[in-house]
Amino acid sequence: MKRRKLLQNGTKVSEVGLGCMSFAGFYGATSEAEAHRTLAAALDMGVNFLDTANIYGMGVSENIIGSFLKGDDTKFVIATKGAVWDNPETGKRGFNNSCDHLRAELELSLTRLQVEQVALYYIHRRAPEIEIEQVMETLLAFKAEGKIGGIGFSEISPASLRRACAVGPVDAVQSEYSLWARYPDLGMLQTCAELDVTFVPFSPLGRGIFALHTPDPARFKDGDFRKGTPRFTEPNFGYNVARVRAFKALANDLGSHPVTLAISWCLNRGPHLIPIPGTRSAEHLAECAAASDFPMTPEIMARIETTLPVGWAHGDRYTTQQWIGPEGYC
């Protein structure tokens, strides 16, 4: 597995990481044993970059990783997140970027992961009532204390990134990015490249739409993140499946798996991208990891763009409620 730079200090990781949200059952039931098999397979494949968060199963994902590590922080480079919380006064989910809240959540994450430091700590969502400069000061303090190795933000705008970088080094920005979610092409990829910030695409497989077997929305369980989202709801879903069918035919013509081709496209959008496909299956992870060795060419990239041009997807990627938090910028 090839390596790419993740942190400003030169830390390199596998150019394909592993998103661990599915360990908490976001896309169907799983078990700790199955997740541990996937983590062991990741090491065998050379995948050493894990992405998790405190709210994935309210600590379940972090606990599973911690029980696998058993205090050995040399196996993986780990990124986790804080700032999303359930407000005890209102009972509603919101965002808290205060120093006290972030410190408390970071300590809980470290305990669950059974490590003394996480390589990268993201602000999962910005809370607009606290300026990003103040949030940066909090994160820089955590870094000085040795609790985090690098600083990241999730789903922020290029303008917010510039403000943050004016205070101190930002190591990574995470946003949804794939062949069916191209919003970061409108400025974020370019800004990250300019400021030497790693861009970490989550859901690079379109929440399963590029899998060999097309997901069936009728079988989505309660709690499945995709249930009710516009792109997985008819008539949008039928239109999307028809367009993706052509992409899968292209992958077949190239002797590739559609998962491998979709992630290879992502890797070839810039040397500062490190996609983190999520899976709870070692078999599926192998399809993702194979993208590191796929012989991509400009001609193949052009064929992909012709098959799935910018803006091809039908329906929004989020519901109105899910759009609360991500920053818009175009």
In a domain, 261, yes or no: no
For residue 95, give the CATH number of its domain.
Answer: 3.20.20.100
> Which residue reads 């001609």 in tokens?
299
- Range(s) of the domain holding residue 82: 3-208+269-292
Summary mean pLDDT of the chain: 94
In a domain, 173, yes or no: yes
In a domain, 223, yes or no: no
Provide the b/e sequence for 159-197 (b: ≥16 CB within 10 Å).
ebbebbbebebbbbbbbbbbbbbbbbeeebbebbeebeb
CB atoms within 10 A of CB 294: 18
In a domain, 314, yes or no: no
Domain count across the chain: 1
pLDDT tens-digit readout, 129-145: 999 999 999 999 999 99
In a domain, 29, yes or no: yes
Q: 73 falls in which pLDDT band (50, 70, 90)?
A: confident
User: Rounded to two decimals, what is the model's pTM?
Assistant: 0.95
- Point out the residues that are catalytic: 56
Q: Is the peptide bond before 235 cis (omega within 30 degrees of 0)?
A: yes
In a domain, 193, yes or no: yes
In a domain, 57, yes or no: yes
In a domain, 190, yes or no: yes
Q: What are 3's strand-pairing partners?
A: 14
pLDDT tens-digit readout, 166-206: 999 999 999 999 999 999 999 999 999 999 999 999 999 99
pLDDT tens-digit readout, 225-247: 888 899 999 999 999 999 999 99
